[in-house]
Amino acid sequence: LQVILGGGRKYMFPEGTPDPEYPDDASQNGVRKDKRNLVQEWQDKNQGARYVWNRRTFLQAAQDPSVTHLMGLFEPADMKFEAERDVSMDPSLEEMTEMALQMLSRNPRGFYLFVEGLAPSKALDLKPYTSILYGNGPGYALNGSSRPSVTGSEISDRMYRQQAAVPLESETHGGEDVAVFARGPWAHLVHGVQEQSFVAHVMAFAACLEPYTDCNLRPPEGLSNAAHPRPVACPPSLLLLLAGALLLLLMPALH
């Protein structure tokens, strides 16, 4: 991963590590019981990596061409809601997205960027939200105009049904083949209908991710070549066909 931005600072540091933004608040200290410093491990693994925890250093690092990998963790836990955000310390989702695009666009092979804001779901009613929500199925449980508040005891019940947005007797997800459409490098591998399990493999191959790190993909041609493509040679058979058609058109005029 080249760019990681969001919250969750305390989950990356050993238990008891003071937080740089809230050093006097013990509840914001690191919580890792395995004593691992994942930020330091990530920096050691990637040359040109930089870690930031506030908006000022984030904007500086994102525009520094020597920074190839960037991790920004701006809150000990979840990022604050936009209305409660400290604009001097925490970047907005828009700023994080813009800077991520700016950094990743340096890669001539392209990139994959995943942006998600989960806070709106929680901000609506302050109730817990689940990591998974089915589009439809028997788990629909809307009471009046409010969604249910899921508790730990409920989800541990063996009869618990995952929440669904639309009530149906059964869920419609399946394992059948799917239609896949793509554009870009290696897009020719995903035309027509494919098995679902194939999609993850072809995405990993196109991105040179494990287990396809030895893919040795050729670098794309320069932008100058793309802007001025080479002329395509016309096959001899096509030239003969065109000459024959032209002769047929001229024959009435010759008589």
Q: Which domain holds residue 63?
A: 3-104
Give the dihedral of Cα atoms 73, 77, 83, 87; nearest 10 deg: -30
Q: What is the pLDDT of residue 208?
A: 85
Q: What is the pLDDT of residue 145?
A: 63
Annotation-wise, does 173 bind a ligand?
yes
98/38 same-domain check: yes
Check if the beta carbon of residue 192 is closer than 8 Å to that of residue 180: yes
58/133 same-domain check: no
Residue 198 lies in a domain: yes
Q: What is the pLDDT of residue 237?
A: 44
70/152 same-domain check: no
Q: What is the pLDDT of residue 206?
A: 86
**Burial (Cβ within 10 Å: 0-12, 13-18, ≥19) of residue 145:** exposed
C-alpha–C-alpha distance, residues 181 and 189, integer Å: 10
**One digit per residue, pLDDT tens: the chain, 255 residues?**
899 999 999 999 999 999 999 999 999 999 999 999 999 999 999 999 999 999 999 999 999 999 999 999 999 998 988 888 999 999 999 999 999 999 999 988 889 899 987 666 667 777 777 777 677 777 777 666 667 777 777 778 888 887 787 888 877 777 789 899 888 888 888 888 999 889 999 988 888 888 888 877 666 565 444 433 444 444 444 444 445 544 445 455 445
7/100 same-domain check: yes
152/69 same-domain check: no
**Burial (Cβ within 10 Å: 0-12, 13-18, ≥19) of residue 180:** middle
143/78 same-domain check: no
Q: What is the pLDDT of residue 50?
A: 97
Q: Where would I find the beta strands (DSSP E) of 32-121? A: 49-52, 69-73
11/89 same-domain check: yes
Q: What is the pLDDT of residue 76?
A: 97
Structure-token match 């969001």, residue found = 6
Provide the domain count of the chain: 3
Taking the model in full, what pTM does it have? 0.57
Annotation-wise, does 116 bind a ligand?
yes
